[in-house]
Chains A and B, each alone.
Chain A
Amino acid sequence: MPSIYADLHLHTVLSACAEVEMLPPLIVQRALQLGLGLIAVTDHNCCANCAAVWQAAEGTGLRVFPGMELQTAEEVHMLCLFGTLEQALTWQGIVFDHLPQLPNREDIFGGQYVVDRNGDYVRTEERRLAISSDLSLDQAVHRVTALGGLPIPSHIDRQVNSLLANLGFVPADLRVAALEINGRTDPDDLTARQPEVAKYPLVRNGDAHRLGDMRRGIVFEAAEASLDALAQALRHRRHRIVVD
Protein backbone atom coordinates (compact mmCIF):
# COMPACT_ATOMS: atom_id res chain seq x y z
CA MET A 1 0.00 0.00 0.00
CA PRO A 2 1.25 3.50 -0.74
CA SER A 3 2.58 5.76 1.99
CA ILE A 4 0.48 8.88 2.33
CA TYR A 5 2.09 12.00 3.74
CA ALA A 6 -0.34 14.41 5.36
CA ASP A 7 -0.54 17.89 6.86
CA LEU A 8 -3.89 18.14 8.62
CA HIS A 9 -3.78 21.74 9.82
CA LEU A 10 -3.48 24.84 7.64
CA HIS A 11 -5.04 28.26 7.37
CA THR A 12 -6.11 30.16 4.26
CA VAL A 13 -6.66 33.90 3.85
CA LEU A 14 -10.01 33.38 5.58
CA SER A 15 -8.10 33.27 8.87
CA ALA A 16 -7.23 36.82 9.84
CA CYS A 17 -3.85 35.68 11.12
CA ALA A 18 -2.79 33.97 7.85
CA GLU A 19 -0.53 35.57 5.24
CA VAL A 20 -2.01 36.73 1.91
CA GLU A 21 -0.11 33.98 0.10
CA MET A 22 -2.35 31.29 1.66
CA LEU A 23 -4.41 30.93 -1.52
CA PRO A 24 -5.83 27.68 -2.94
CA PRO A 25 -3.54 27.22 -6.00
CA LEU A 26 -0.41 28.11 -4.01
CA ILE A 27 -1.37 25.81 -1.14
CA VAL A 28 -1.94 22.94 -3.59
CA GLN A 29 1.33 23.65 -5.39
CA ARG A 30 3.27 23.70 -2.12
CA ALA A 31 1.58 20.48 -0.95
CA LEU A 32 2.58 18.72 -4.17
CA GLN A 33 6.17 20.02 -3.86
CA LEU A 34 6.32 18.52 -0.37
CA GLY A 35 5.02 15.20 -1.67
CA LEU A 36 1.86 15.42 0.42
CA GLY A 37 -1.04 13.19 -0.55
CA LEU A 38 -3.44 14.75 1.93
CA ILE A 39 -4.08 18.17 3.45
CA ALA A 40 -6.89 19.53 5.62
CA VAL A 41 -8.17 23.10 5.39
CA THR A 42 -8.75 24.33 8.92
CA ASP A 43 -9.56 28.02 9.19
CA HIS A 44 -10.71 29.47 12.50
CA ASN A 45 -14.42 28.75 13.07
CA CYS A 46 -15.23 28.76 9.36
CA CYS A 47 -15.22 26.43 6.34
CA ALA A 48 -15.87 29.00 3.59
CA ASN A 49 -12.59 28.37 1.70
CA CYS A 50 -12.67 24.56 1.87
CA ALA A 51 -14.46 24.13 -1.47
CA ALA A 52 -11.99 26.43 -3.25
CA VAL A 53 -8.96 24.42 -2.07
CA TRP A 54 -10.76 21.16 -2.86
CA GLN A 55 -11.44 22.42 -6.41
CA ALA A 56 -7.89 23.72 -6.82
CA ALA A 57 -6.62 20.21 -6.06
CA GLU A 58 -8.92 18.44 -8.53
CA GLY A 59 -6.96 16.31 -10.98
CA THR A 60 -3.67 16.64 -9.06
CA GLY A 61 -4.02 13.50 -6.94
CA LEU A 62 -3.92 15.59 -3.74
CA ARG A 63 -6.77 14.80 -1.37
CA VAL A 64 -8.27 17.73 0.57
CA PHE A 65 -10.26 17.27 3.77
CA PRO A 66 -12.63 20.14 4.44
CA GLY A 67 -12.32 21.14 8.06
CA MET A 68 -12.17 23.85 10.66
CA GLU A 69 -10.15 24.86 13.68
CA LEU A 70 -12.88 25.43 16.22
CA GLN A 71 -12.42 27.64 19.28
CA THR A 72 -14.43 26.07 22.09
CA ALA A 73 -16.04 27.82 25.05
CA GLU A 74 -12.89 26.99 27.04
CA GLU A 75 -10.84 28.79 24.34
CA VAL A 76 -9.31 25.47 23.37
CA HIS A 77 -8.56 25.06 19.67
CA MET A 78 -9.65 21.83 18.01
CA LEU A 79 -9.36 20.55 14.46
CA CYS A 80 -12.64 19.23 13.05
CA LEU A 81 -11.95 17.15 9.92
CA PHE A 82 -14.55 15.88 7.48
CA GLY A 83 -14.62 13.67 4.41
CA THR A 84 -17.18 15.69 2.44
CA LEU A 85 -17.95 19.35 1.85
CA GLU A 86 -21.58 18.72 2.86
CA GLN A 87 -20.52 17.54 6.32
CA ALA A 88 -18.24 20.54 6.71
CA LEU A 89 -20.97 22.96 5.71
CA THR A 90 -23.42 21.34 8.12
CA TRP A 91 -20.82 21.75 10.86
CA GLN A 92 -20.29 25.34 9.77
CA GLY A 93 -24.02 26.01 10.29
CA ILE A 94 -23.91 24.53 13.78
CA VAL A 95 -20.84 26.54 14.75
CA PHE A 96 -22.29 29.79 13.40
CA ASP A 97 -25.34 29.23 15.62
CA HIS A 98 -22.92 29.06 18.55
CA LEU A 99 -20.70 32.05 17.71
CA PRO A 100 -21.48 35.52 19.03
CA GLN A 101 -22.77 37.77 16.24
CA LEU A 102 -20.05 40.39 16.15
CA PRO A 103 -18.55 42.26 13.21
CA ASN A 104 -14.87 41.66 12.48
CA ARG A 105 -12.52 44.57 13.18
CA GLU A 106 -10.01 44.36 10.35
CA ASP A 107 -7.85 47.05 11.92
CA ILE A 108 -7.34 44.88 15.01
CA PHE A 109 -7.69 41.27 13.89
CA GLY A 110 -6.94 41.48 10.15
CA GLY A 111 -9.01 40.67 7.04
CA GLN A 112 -11.00 37.47 6.47
CA TYR A 113 -11.21 36.71 2.76
CA VAL A 114 -13.23 34.13 0.85
CA VAL A 115 -11.55 33.27 -2.46
CA ASP A 116 -12.21 30.97 -5.42
CA ARG A 117 -10.17 28.03 -6.75
CA ASN A 118 -7.84 30.44 -8.56
CA GLY A 119 -7.26 32.45 -5.44
CA ASP A 120 -9.32 35.37 -6.75
CA TYR A 121 -11.24 37.47 -4.23
CA VAL A 122 -14.92 36.56 -3.81
CA ARG A 123 -15.99 38.37 -0.65
CA THR A 124 -14.93 39.45 2.81
CA GLU A 125 -16.33 37.48 5.73
CA GLU A 126 -17.72 40.27 7.89
CA ARG A 127 -18.41 38.15 10.94
CA ARG A 128 -15.71 38.03 13.58
CA LEU A 129 -14.16 34.55 13.50
CA ALA A 130 -11.32 35.13 16.00
CA ILE A 131 -13.58 34.42 18.97
CA SER A 132 -14.87 31.54 21.09
CA SER A 133 -18.00 29.61 20.27
CA ASP A 134 -20.16 28.64 23.22
CA LEU A 135 -19.77 24.94 22.40
CA SER A 136 -17.83 23.19 25.14
CA LEU A 137 -14.99 20.87 24.19
CA ASP A 138 -17.11 17.91 25.16
CA GLN A 139 -20.13 19.07 23.13
CA ALA A 140 -17.96 19.80 20.11
CA VAL A 141 -16.29 16.37 20.23
CA HIS A 142 -19.67 14.64 20.34
CA ARG A 143 -21.21 16.69 17.57
CA VAL A 144 -18.25 16.41 15.18
CA THR A 145 -18.17 12.66 15.74
CA ALA A 146 -21.93 12.37 15.22
CA LEU A 147 -21.53 14.11 11.86
CA GLY A 148 -18.91 11.55 10.83
CA GLY A 149 -15.96 13.87 11.40
CA LEU A 150 -12.70 13.50 13.31
CA PRO A 151 -12.09 15.79 16.30
CA ILE A 152 -8.39 16.44 17.03
CA PRO A 153 -7.46 19.04 19.70
CA SER A 154 -4.81 21.38 18.24
CA HIS A 155 -1.26 21.98 19.51
CA ILE A 156 -2.17 20.63 22.95
CA ASP A 157 1.11 21.73 24.54
CA ARG A 158 1.05 25.33 23.32
CA GLN A 159 0.98 28.16 25.88
CA VAL A 160 -2.43 29.47 24.79
CA ASN A 161 -5.63 28.09 23.24
CA SER A 162 -4.71 24.53 24.05
CA LEU A 163 -5.95 21.57 26.04
CA LEU A 164 -3.02 21.51 28.45
CA ALA A 165 -2.73 25.29 28.92
CA ASN A 166 -6.45 26.03 29.25
CA LEU A 167 -7.66 22.93 31.07
CA GLY A 168 -4.39 21.78 32.60
CA PHE A 169 -4.98 18.12 31.74
CA VAL A 170 -6.53 15.78 29.20
CA PRO A 171 -10.07 15.10 30.44
CA ALA A 172 -10.79 11.45 31.18
CA ASP A 173 -12.78 9.71 28.44
CA LEU A 174 -12.17 12.42 25.88
CA ARG A 175 -13.25 10.64 22.70
CA VAL A 176 -11.01 12.29 20.14
CA ALA A 177 -9.34 10.73 17.09
CA ALA A 178 -5.90 12.00 18.06
CA LEU A 179 -4.08 14.82 19.83
CA GLU A 180 -2.00 17.28 17.84
CA ILE A 181 1.29 18.23 19.45
CA ASN A 182 3.14 21.45 18.84
CA GLY A 183 5.32 21.74 15.75
CA ARG A 184 8.64 21.55 17.58
CA THR A 185 7.64 19.11 20.30
CA ASP A 186 9.31 15.75 20.61
CA PRO A 187 6.47 13.28 21.35
CA ASP A 188 8.65 11.29 23.75
CA ASP A 189 9.45 14.40 25.81
CA LEU A 190 5.79 15.30 26.02
CA THR A 191 4.60 11.85 27.05
CA ALA A 192 7.32 11.75 29.70
CA ARG A 193 5.96 15.01 31.17
CA GLN A 194 2.26 14.26 30.62
CA PRO A 195 1.82 10.47 30.66
CA GLU A 196 -1.95 10.65 29.97
CA VAL A 197 -1.17 12.00 26.51
CA ALA A 198 0.23 8.60 25.54
CA LYS A 199 -3.29 7.13 25.68
CA TYR A 200 -4.02 8.87 22.38
CA PRO A 201 -2.54 8.70 18.90
CA LEU A 202 -0.37 11.79 18.43
CA VAL A 203 -0.09 13.84 15.25
CA ARG A 204 2.02 16.83 14.32
CA ASN A 205 1.13 19.28 11.56
CA GLY A 206 2.31 22.52 10.00
CA ASP A 207 -0.43 24.80 11.42
CA ALA A 208 0.63 26.83 8.40
CA HIS A 209 -0.10 30.54 8.35
CA ARG A 210 2.37 30.93 5.46
CA LEU A 211 3.35 28.49 2.70
CA GLY A 212 6.75 27.84 4.25
CA ASP A 213 5.08 26.44 7.39
CA MET A 214 3.45 23.56 5.50
CA ARG A 215 5.19 20.26 6.18
CA ARG A 216 5.11 16.50 6.01
CA GLY A 217 3.37 16.07 9.36
CA ILE A 218 2.43 12.43 9.57
CA VAL A 219 2.63 9.42 7.26
CA PHE A 220 0.40 6.36 7.08
CA GLU A 221 -0.15 3.53 4.65
CA ALA A 222 -3.51 3.19 2.96
CA ALA A 223 -4.98 2.34 -0.42
CA GLU A 224 -6.52 5.82 -0.60
CA ALA A 225 -6.40 9.03 1.43
CA SER A 226 -9.94 8.82 2.79
CA LEU A 227 -11.17 10.05 6.16
CA ASP A 228 -11.95 6.47 7.09
CA ALA A 229 -8.45 5.31 6.16
CA LEU A 230 -6.97 8.08 8.32
CA ALA A 231 -9.30 7.20 11.20
CA GLN A 232 -8.30 3.53 10.97
CA ALA A 233 -4.60 4.36 10.81
CA LEU A 234 -4.87 6.59 13.88
CA ARG A 235 -7.00 4.13 15.82
CA HIS A 236 -4.53 1.30 15.25
CA ARG A 237 -1.52 3.61 15.47
CA ARG A 238 -0.37 2.61 12.05
CA HIS A 239 0.72 6.20 11.39
CA ARG A 240 3.91 7.92 12.45
CA ILE A 241 5.07 11.46 12.96
CA VAL A 242 7.52 12.50 10.26
CA VAL A 243 10.86 13.57 11.70
CA ASP A 244 12.50 16.22 9.52
Chain B
Amino acid sequence: MILKEIIEALDLRVAAGAVHTDVEVTGGYTADLLSCAMAGAAAGNLWITLQSHLNVVAVASLNELAGVIVTEGRPISAETAGKAEEEGVVLLHTPLTSYQVAGRLWALGVR
Protein backbone atom coordinates (compact mmCIF):
# COMPACT_ATOMS: atom_id res chain seq x y z
CA MET B 1 0.00 0.00 0.00
CA ILE B 2 1.16 3.52 -0.79
CA LEU B 3 1.87 5.76 2.22
CA LYS B 4 -0.36 8.52 0.86
CA GLU B 5 -3.38 6.18 0.89
CA ILE B 6 -2.66 5.22 4.51
CA ILE B 7 -2.44 8.88 5.50
CA GLU B 8 -5.88 9.44 4.00
CA ALA B 9 -7.44 6.28 5.40
CA LEU B 10 -6.25 6.99 8.97
CA ASP B 11 -6.64 10.76 8.68
CA LEU B 12 -3.03 11.33 9.77
CA ARG B 13 -1.56 14.81 10.00
CA VAL B 14 1.72 15.19 8.10
CA ALA B 15 4.22 16.96 10.37
CA ALA B 16 7.20 16.59 8.02
CA GLY B 17 8.28 15.00 4.77
CA ALA B 18 5.06 15.57 2.79
CA VAL B 19 6.91 15.23 -0.53
CA HIS B 20 8.05 11.68 0.35
CA THR B 21 4.64 10.08 0.81
CA ASP B 22 4.46 8.43 -2.60
CA VAL B 23 6.26 5.31 -1.38
CA GLU B 24 5.23 1.69 -0.92
CA VAL B 25 4.86 0.65 2.74
CA THR B 26 6.32 -2.81 3.29
CA GLY B 27 4.93 -3.42 6.79
CA GLY B 28 4.75 -1.98 10.28
CA TYR B 29 6.60 -2.04 13.57
CA THR B 30 5.57 -0.85 17.04
CA ALA B 31 7.98 0.05 19.87
CA ASP B 32 8.74 2.97 22.13
CA LEU B 33 12.31 1.94 22.84
CA LEU B 34 14.56 3.27 20.09
CA SER B 35 16.90 0.31 20.42
CA CYS B 36 14.02 -2.05 19.59
CA ALA B 37 13.04 0.00 16.55
CA MET B 38 16.67 0.09 15.42
CA ALA B 39 16.89 -3.68 15.65
CA GLY B 40 13.39 -4.59 14.46
CA ALA B 41 11.95 -2.07 11.99
CA ALA B 42 12.77 -3.02 8.38
CA ALA B 43 13.33 -0.70 5.43
CA GLY B 44 10.01 0.57 4.08
CA ASN B 45 8.17 -0.08 7.36
CA LEU B 46 5.96 2.39 9.15
CA TRP B 47 7.09 2.80 12.75
CA ILE B 48 4.32 3.43 15.27
CA THR B 49 5.51 5.06 18.49
CA LEU B 50 4.78 7.45 21.34
CA GLN B 51 8.23 8.95 21.09
CA SER B 52 8.56 12.21 19.24
CA HIS B 53 12.04 13.47 20.14
CA LEU B 54 14.90 14.23 17.81
CA ASN B 55 16.49 10.76 17.93
CA VAL B 56 13.38 9.25 16.37
CA VAL B 57 14.40 10.96 13.13
CA ALA B 58 17.89 9.43 13.31
CA VAL B 59 16.46 5.92 13.69
CA ALA B 60 13.94 6.42 10.86
CA SER B 61 16.71 7.66 8.61
CA LEU B 62 19.13 4.90 9.64
CA ASN B 63 16.62 2.11 8.96
CA GLU B 64 15.23 3.80 5.82
CA LEU B 65 11.67 3.65 7.12
CA ALA B 66 8.69 4.74 5.04
CA GLY B 67 7.65 6.95 7.93
CA VAL B 68 6.94 7.35 11.63
CA ILE B 69 3.46 7.64 13.14
CA VAL B 70 3.57 9.53 16.44
CA THR B 71 0.54 8.45 18.47
CA GLU B 72 -1.66 9.81 21.28
CA GLY B 73 -1.12 13.33 20.02
CA ARG B 74 2.29 13.55 21.67
CA PRO B 75 3.70 16.96 20.72
CA ILE B 76 6.27 17.04 17.94
CA SER B 77 8.73 19.89 18.49
CA ALA B 78 9.64 22.29 15.69
CA GLU B 79 13.21 21.02 16.08
CA THR B 80 12.17 17.41 15.45
CA ALA B 81 9.94 18.33 12.51
CA GLY B 82 12.70 20.51 11.05
CA LYS B 83 15.24 17.72 11.30
CA ALA B 84 12.82 15.25 9.71
CA GLU B 85 12.20 17.67 6.85
CA GLU B 86 15.94 18.04 6.38
CA GLU B 87 16.52 14.25 6.41
CA GLY B 88 13.53 13.45 4.19
CA VAL B 89 11.79 11.51 6.97
CA VAL B 90 7.99 11.38 6.90
CA LEU B 91 6.60 12.24 10.36
CA LEU B 92 2.89 11.61 10.89
CA HIS B 93 0.74 12.57 13.82
CA THR B 94 -2.46 11.10 15.24
CA PRO B 95 -4.53 11.26 18.44
CA LEU B 96 -5.09 7.47 18.16
CA THR B 97 -3.19 5.05 20.41
CA SER B 98 -0.44 2.82 18.99
CA TYR B 99 -2.75 -0.17 19.47
CA GLN B 100 -5.52 1.47 17.43
CA VAL B 101 -3.15 2.49 14.66
CA ALA B 102 -1.65 -1.01 14.40
CA GLY B 103 -5.15 -2.51 14.26
CA ARG B 104 -6.24 -0.20 11.49
CA LEU B 105 -3.11 -0.75 9.44
CA TRP B 106 -3.54 -4.50 9.78
CA ALA B 107 -7.15 -4.21 8.65
CA LEU B 108 -5.98 -2.21 5.61
CA GLY B 109 -3.75 -5.13 4.64
CA VAL B 110 -0.42 -3.69 5.81
CA ARG B 111 1.10 -6.86 7.30
Interface residues of A (CB under 8 A from B): 73-75, 100, 105, 108-109, 131-132, 159-160
B61 at the binding interface (Cβ < 8 Å): yes
Residue of A74, A131, A159 near B38 (CB, 8 A) is A131
A74 vs B39: C-alpha distance in the bound complex, in angstroms? 15
- Chain B interface main SS type: helix
The chain A residue sitting closest to B34, CB to CB, is A75
A100 vs B34: C-alpha distance in the bound complex, in angstroms? 13
- Number of A-B residue pairs with CB-CB distance less than 8 Å in the complex they form: 21
Count of residues in B whose CB is under 8 Å from the partner chain: 11
Whether A160 contacts B55 by the Cβ 8 Å rule is yes
What sequence of 0s and 1s flags, for each residue 33-53 of chain B, a beta carbon within 8 Å of any chain A beta carbon? 111001100000000000101
Residues of chain B within 8 A of A132, CB atoms compared = 33-35
Which residues of B (47-72) have their CB < 8 Å from a CB of A?
51, 53, 55, 58, 61-62
A218 vs B102: C-alpha distance in the bound complex, in angstroms? 47
Interface centre among B33, B35, B51 (most CB of A within 10 A): B35
Closest Cβ–Cβ distance, residue B87 to chain A (whole Å) = 9
Whether B51 contacts A108 by the Cβ 8 Å rule is no
Residues of chain B within 8 A of A105, CB atoms compared = 62
A132 vs B31: C-alpha distance in the bound complex, in angstroms? 14
Q: List 21 A-B contacts (CB under 8 A).
A: A73-B35, A74-B33, A75-B33, A75-B34, A75-B35, A100-B35, A100-B39, A105-B62, A108-B58, A108-B61, A108-B62, A109-B58, A131-B35, A131-B38, A132-B33, A132-B34, A132-B35, A159-B53, A160-B51, A160-B53, A160-B55
The chain B residue sitting closest to A160, CB to CB, is B53
Residues of chain B within 8 A of A75, CB atoms compared = 33-35
Residues of chain A within 8 A of B55, CB atoms compared = 160
The chain B residue sitting closest to A133, CB to CB, is B35
Closest Cβ–Cβ distance, residue A112 to chain B (whole Å) = 14
A100 vs B53: C-alpha distance in the bound complex, in angstroms? 23
Residues of chain A within 8 A of B53, CB atoms compared = 159-160
A109 vs B55: C-alpha distance in the bound complex, in angstroms? 9
Residues of chain A within 8 A of B39, CB atoms compared = 100
In the A-B complex, the 4 residue pairs with the closest CB atoms: A132-B35, A160-B53, A108-B58, A108-B62
Residues of chain A within 8 A of B34, CB atoms compared = 75, 132
Residues of chain B within 8 A of A160, CB atoms compared = 51, 53, 55
A39 vs B91: C-alpha distance in the bound complex, in angstroms? 40
Closest Cβ–Cβ distance, residue A158 to chain B (whole Å) = 10
The chain B residue sitting closest to A110, CB to CB, is B58
A131 vs B61: C-alpha distance in the bound complex, in angstroms? 15
A159 vs B1: C-alpha distance in the bound complex, in angstroms? 34
A100 vs B62: C-alpha distance in the bound complex, in angstroms? 16
A152 vs B20: C-alpha distance in the bound complex, in angstroms? 43
Given contacts A108-B58, A131-B35, 19 further A-B contacts (CB under 8 A): A73-B35, A74-B33, A75-B33, A75-B34, A75-B35, A100-B35, A100-B39, A105-B62, A108-B61, A108-B62, A109-B58, A131-B38, A132-B33, A132-B34, A132-B35, A159-B53, A160-B51, A160-B53, A160-B55
